[in-house]
Structure 1
């Protein structure tokens, strides 16, 4: 009799504690999360970045805010133009009303004159009595015909006066409605203007904080792209900013500079768009040092221009720009005592090769002052 060797029962495989915990958690909780998240296991950076879109940067938020403010400013200007048209129409209506009033006064005077003349000619005496007392009945009949004509004239004058009064009242109602509409439009424009002001204040604060952080870190953030108007500049050369006041000029002396001032300052508010004065290419974008956030362009005629103390740069090194393109936003970063644009014209990219920007711009058809 053969004997069979009994094999020992298989030893159950041990389930790792982490896998067991994952199974228990997924049974207990109505979740469909992967085990790596339930157990707190770190997710690779590539997976996390693919699952969540990148957060909007501060520069992009500022650009978006300025775009909203620009759109609101356009609506404000359109509203102001409409208000001016409404005012002109209301003023014209008032002038026409004055003419209507004058016509009505003249008609009232004519009615009074006719009535007085009829009274003096005996308009209150009966016609039969007139015929009996008259030496010539024909004269009486002629007088009656004249009286009837005068009566018709009086009736016409009274009717014209009443019609003029009705027209005057209708014109007055329209004038009152026009003025009320103008008042409502002005109030709406005032609210819109206040909204723009609040947005610009918030944008300027955020811009300057971002610029100061970049300068403190000594490294520039990515370009904060700005909305561009393709038809904004039609001339080959433009001023670097609009609505400015010239402050420190070229080769000015003072305690703010180690030697002499190397450019021309344009006093503007924080966040004013900075324009490329001409077509060219971005040579450098830097953050830090006495110029704060600054960039240099090389133009097609060989000259270089620098734009300094910015709060934000909107272009990157090597990028091609056109005349009038917004390349940054003004600020007060670096060695600056207040918001302005420091603008230089150079023979080379380096400091120390500058020429006076004001006559240089004038020679390129851009007088500033």
Structure 2
């Protein structure tokens, strides 16, 4: 009886809980901010980014091995050509000797030659020369035949290895292209989510990335690992009110962005001209800004280490294409920037 009296109350509580859950804000794919698809796309981009780098490395290594195999085959062929030329020369020499013998009565037995010769000893020396030439030719022919058989085996092995390498290269190239196609699709999906966040003026929250464990022996690093420098500090441009206040790194969407040094996250913002941006405070009163991101991997107030992934590059905000805008400031706000290239160079990082 006690249970039946409480049952309507329990049912009411469950209905209220379900209503609260149903009313929680969600992102465009029906997931709570900072979870679900946003996290999945960021993680997928980071994973595919690493897989593409590994596939490229394997592909280049295979191409290098194929080049070495080709060089070995060419050396074998050159050696055979030299041996064939040497054998042809010996055969010519023997032919000349045989022709001379024939003209001098080479059809007679050796005893008759000795009886008829004016100088039997000279005749014997000539005969020994012929024998020596024949022996030398026989030896040369034997060596050449063995070398040719050995070369044929080597060439067969080299041809089989070459075919395997070519087949492996084709497989690696297809794998690399497939990963890059998937990565490109995932990158623009991630950028679409970033644009939605900027338009709403609200960040989705930190998406924790599975960063490979790397121990840095230095205190400072570049903000991205592989890059092309584009707009530099102090340069002019129609998109800036005065001068460019940072250094741009041209990198694809989704490229992991690293903290240049240990510090604290003092700002994570998702609106305005800088799009999605992060500002770190470092020892000595300096601040670094990372702007136009596609995603963030840290929260405000968090401590970060040198080289730690803090976000992924993009083209959010006032941006004409995928890149990272990197600034060094003496305050957390814009207007206090210093030249980031010389600042990093003073800390042992050459761009």
Aligned residues: 327
Counterpart residue number, 1:270? 253
Superposed, 1:315-330 pairs within 5 Å as 315-330=298-313
TM-score, normalised with respect to structure 2: 0.81
Match of 1:119 among 99, 111, 126: 99
Superposed, 1:141-180 pairs within 5 Å as 147-180=130-163
- 1:192-247 Cα offsets, whole Å, 9 max, x none, are 22112212211211111110111122211121222323326432111212333333
Match of 1:62 among 42, 49, 62: 42
Q: Provide structure 1 residue ranges, at least 5 long, that are not aligned to the other structure.
A: 1-35
- 1:115-150 Cα offsets, whole Å, 9 max, x none, are 321331344333354355345666666665554444
Quote the RMSD (CA, aligned, Å).
3.1
Match of 2:233 among 230, 250, 256: 250
> RCO greater where, 1 or 2, for CA within 8 Å and sep 6 or more?
2
**CA distance 1:135–1:252, change in 2 (3 Å):** closer
Cα offset, 1:349, TM superposition: 1.5
TM-score, normalised with respect to structure 1: 0.78
Q: Secondary structure at the match of 1:302?
A: coil
* In structure 2, C-alpha distance between the alignment counterparts of 1:187 and 1:294, rounded to whole Å: 41
Q: Secondary structure at the match of 2:36?
A: coil
Matched, 1:109 2:89: yes
Q: Provide structure 2 residue ranges, at least 5 long, that are not aligned to the other structure.
A: 1-10, 23-30
Superposed, 1:12-27 pairs within 5 Å as none
- 1:22-54 Cα offsets, whole Å, 9 max, x none, are xxxxxxxxxxxxxx9xxxx958439989xxx99
**CA distance 1:247–1:275, change in 2 (3 Å):** same
Match of 1:45 among 8, 13, 18: 18
**CA distance 1:308–1:103, change in 2 (3 Å):** same
Q: Is the 8 A contact 1:240 1:276 kept in 2?
A: yes
Superposed, 1:59-138 pairs within 5 Å as 59-122=39-102, 123-131=106-114, 133-134=116-117
Q: Secondary structure at the match of 1:352?
A: coil
**CA distance 1:119–1:308, change in 2 (3 Å):** same
Q: Is the 8 A contact 1:304 1:348 kept in 2?
A: yes
Q: Is the 8 A contact 1:291 1:333 kept in 2?
A: yes
